[in-house]
Chain A
Amino acid sequence: MEDTNIEKKGYAFSKEGMNILKEMMKDYPSSDALLLPALYIAQEEFGHLDSGALQYVADVLKVPRSKVFGVATYYTMYKTKPTGKHLVQVCTNLSCSLLGADHILKYLENKLGIKVGETTHDKKFTLITVECLGSCGTAPMMQVNDTYYENLTEEGIDRILEGLK
């Protein structure tokens, strides 16, 4: 399928990003392995992976665009749509649910005034649910961007969100 909306201009890795990628090239016998790392760099630098960003990654790595699109949409950590500044990810798998993940989620929905999957008007917060993140012994938990917050309570959440303003 030909996507005519691809914005080719304006996408370029920073010098630093490009250097990281070049350095990593030495670590693998095949440059195909750089696709996941390159998508991380693109996401970091461009905010999210829209079709222009994906086309750029395809061009840089000289791999088919279809492959880049396929990979980017396969993994949950790649965001093809914009998200808020803080991506609030609440684990709702079993161990967290047993200890009130449901309640935590509702509390967050109320507090942020959005439903799961939505972004606040000021684009500060996006709320999503995720599967087990390996914090089951300190449930319930959430991850905000890269940081884990465990043993969540309402007061805890108040404090955490306050710190993220």
Chain B
Amino acid sequence: MNDILLKNINKQNSTDIETYLKDGGYKPLEKALKEYTPKEVIDIVQKSGLRGRGGAGFPTGKKWEFAAADKNTPRYLLCNADEGEPGTYKDRPIIEKDPHQLIEGIIISGYAIGAAACYIYIRGEYVYGADVLQKAIAQAYKKGFLGKKILGKKFDFDLYVHKGAGAYVCGEETALIESLEGKRGQSRIKPPFPVNVGVWNKPTVINNVETLANVSHIIKNGPDWFKSMGPEKCPGPKIYSISGHVNKPGNYELIMGTSLKDLIYKYAGGIKDGKKLKAVIPGGASTPVLKPEHIEVNMDYESVGAVGSMLGSGAIMVMDETVCMVGVTRRLLKFFAHESCGKCSPCREGTHWLVQILDRIVNNEGKTEDIDLMLDICDNMRGKTFCPLGDGAINPVLSTIKHFRDEYLIHIEEKRCPVNYPHSEYCL
């Protein structure tokens, strides 16, 4: 546990470049620049099987290949440090405690795709993290790992930190681009894809913090080492953020595909106060809710998909028997309604309608037809929006209606909360 990506976070002075160098840091960068061509670095990453850790699981090497193949220059790399998916706090320890691991991964990735510069787009609230990054970047410039002719090679590369200002949707790659360009962060329609038409209309690769943090390790230990860990289709280490009703919430770096059961019971110490498990959201707020019967599932993209949810960001939110699932759904939908960028009507209107209906159900004023009405609204949102925020927003609704329909019915027909706990606290 915590062997690769999080291995440095508890060291003294872990953010200092000297600490990082002492442990062999920036050697992989040297190796990449001196022993491999950019194309070879892309091949190595492709061979490793690394897939994006930001939520969608897109093969990282493939994305790089697309961007590198576009002759339009300059190309850009964007590091997505927006970390806004509720439940997710896995990038934060990398940013705050081991910034050089991230910076090294960024430089190698920039070399691979032939980027002129990288911007780390960090959520505005991570003030401390942004500060750590700025200082670490300054150190890396001083050592000649950034700037002109890096390590004496014909490779110039700059790295900047750019702060967001509070908008979940800016974690979505095209909204992130808009925001970086100084606009309201509203998603763009795809295609064209950012790998061809990205920031300032240049070929752009966007990768998550955790994705990029893996890169130096792959260069150091080789693609076969990486591929030997976990499932064939999505190997490597994965940081799972566990929160909610568990005894030991926290970030656990394990092999991709660790079972949800082990994560909850073995690592996070089981359910708090000896209560019973009721529901789990396996990959952040926009992934469908699962029931206790699903917890044998292995936490990788394919396996979680097979039980009807998604790995997403790997943010596991655990709920015990005291929780009203209608209340949970309302809480999440309020979030999505607040964060909808408003560009397309199915998402802008749909999320608000869903909140209104959920409000009246929670307040025991719901009607029997409300369940069908919600299903209908979801149907009119699914696949009909500019960006996946709209698709994500319907997941809590659809999955709780599927797995916890009885709780909706009790609220609607018996005009009471299905759990015997004081209403205001547990319907959230």
Task: Give the interface of A toward B (CB within 8 A).
Answer: 27, 29-30, 32-37, 39-40, 63, 67, 70-71, 74-78, 92-95, 97-100, 102-103, 130-139, 143, 146-148
Q: Which of B127, B182, B281 sits near A34, CB closer than 8 Å?
A: B182
A154 to chain B minimum Cβ distance, whole angstroms, is 15
Q: Is the CB of A94 within 8 A of B328?
A: yes
* Complex alpha-carbon distance, A148 and B92, angstroms: 13
Contact in complex: A134, B125 (CB < 8 Å): yes
9 extra A-B contacts, CB within 8 A, seeds A30-B182, A74-B185, A130-B125: A36-B163, A71-B183, A93-B335, A132-B86, A136-B87, A136-B244, A136-B315, A137-B250, A138-B249
**Contact residues in B for A147 (Cβ distance below 8 Å):** 128
B89, B91, B182: the one contacting A136 at CB < 8 Å is: B89
CA–CA, A76 and B163, complex, Å: 13
Contact A132 B167 (CB under 8 A): no
Q: How far is the CA of A93 from the CA of B425 in the complex (A)?
A: 13
Q: Which residue of B lies closest to A102 (CB)?
A: B425
For window 155-178 of chain B, which residues contact chain A by CB distance below 8 Å? 158, 160, 162-168
What are the 10 closest A-B residue pairs judged by CB atoms, nearest first? A76-B166, A75-B165, A35-B182, A136-B243, A77-B166, A95-B243, A132-B86, A146-B127, A74-B184, A32-B182
Interface of B toward A, CB cutoff 8 Å: 83-89, 91-92, 123-128, 158, 160, 162-168, 179-185, 200, 241-245, 249-251, 281, 285, 315, 317, 319, 323, 328, 331-332, 335, 338-339, 424-425, 428
Q: In the bound complex, what is the Cα–Cα distance between A34 and B281 (angstroms)?
A: 38
Is the CB–CB distance between A94 and B184 below 8 Å?
A: no
Closest to A135 in B: B89
User: A130 to B334, alpha carbons, bound, how many Å?
Assistant: 12
The docked-state distance in angstroms from the alpha carbon of A136 to that of B180 is 26
A residues less than 8 Å from B332 (CB atoms): 94
Return the chain B residue nearest A72 by Cβ: B165
CA distance A102 to B89 in the complex (A): 21
Contact status of A137 and B167, CB under 8 A, knowing A71-B183, A97-B428: no
Instruction: Given A39-B165, A75-B166, A75-B167, decide whether A94 and B317 contact each other with a Cβ distance below 8 A.
Output: yes
11 contacts between A and B (CB under 8 A): A40-B165, A95-B244, A99-B245, A131-B84, A131-B86, A134-B91, A136-B89, A136-B315, A137-B251, A139-B249, A143-B125
Kindly state the separation between the CA atoms of A159 and B352 in the bound complex, as whole angstroms: 38
Residue of B at shortest CB range from A39? B165
Q: Which residues on the B side are within 8 Å of A130 (C-beta)?
A: 125, 166
Q: Judging by beta carbons under 8 Å apart, are A94 and B165 in contact?
A: no
A40 (CB) vs chain B CBs: closest residue = B163
Q: In the bound complex, what is the Cα–Cα distance between A70 and B285 (angstroms)? A: 28
* B residues in contact with A131, CB < 8 Å: 84, 86, 168, 335, 338-339
**Chain B positions within 8 Å of A77 at CB level:** 124-125, 165-166
Centre residue among A67, A70, A94, A138 by max chain B CB count within 10 A:
A94
Pair A32/B166 contact, Cβ less than 8 Å: no
Residues in A neighbouring B124, C-beta threshold 8 A: 40, 75, 77
Q: How far is the CB of B181 from chain A (nearest CB, A)?
A: 6
Q: How far is the CB of B96 from chain A (nearest CB, A)?
A: 10
Q: What B residues does A98 contact at CB under 8 A?
A: 243-245, 317, 319, 323, 428
Q: Which residue from B84, B158, B167, B428 sits with its C-beta under 8 Å from A94?
A: B428
Chain A residues within an 8 Å CB radius of B425:
100, 102-103
Q: How far is the CA of A67 from the CA of B425 in the complex (A)?
A: 41
With A71-B183, A93-B335, A95-B86 as given contacts, are A136 and B317 in contact (CB-CB < 8 Å)? yes
Interface centre among A35, A98, A133, A137, by most B CB within 10 Å?
Answer: A137
A74 partner residues in chain B, CB cutoff 8 A: 167, 184-185
Contact A76 B165 (CB under 8 A): yes
A43 to B243, CA, bound (A): 34
CB < 8 Å: which of A37, A75, A137 contacts B241? A137
CB distance from B120 to the nearest CB of A (A): 12
A146–B317 Cα distance when bound, in Å, is 26
User: Once the chains are docked, how many angstroms separate the CA of A34 from the CA of B162?
Assistant: 10
B183 to chain A, nearest CB (A): 7
With A77-B125, A98-B319, A146-B127 as contacts: A30 and B200 at CB distance below 8 Å: yes
Question: A67 — which chain B residues lie within 8 A by C-beta?
Answer: 183
Known interface pairs A131-B339, A136-B243, A143-B125. Does A36 touch B251 (Cβ–Cβ under 8 Å)? no
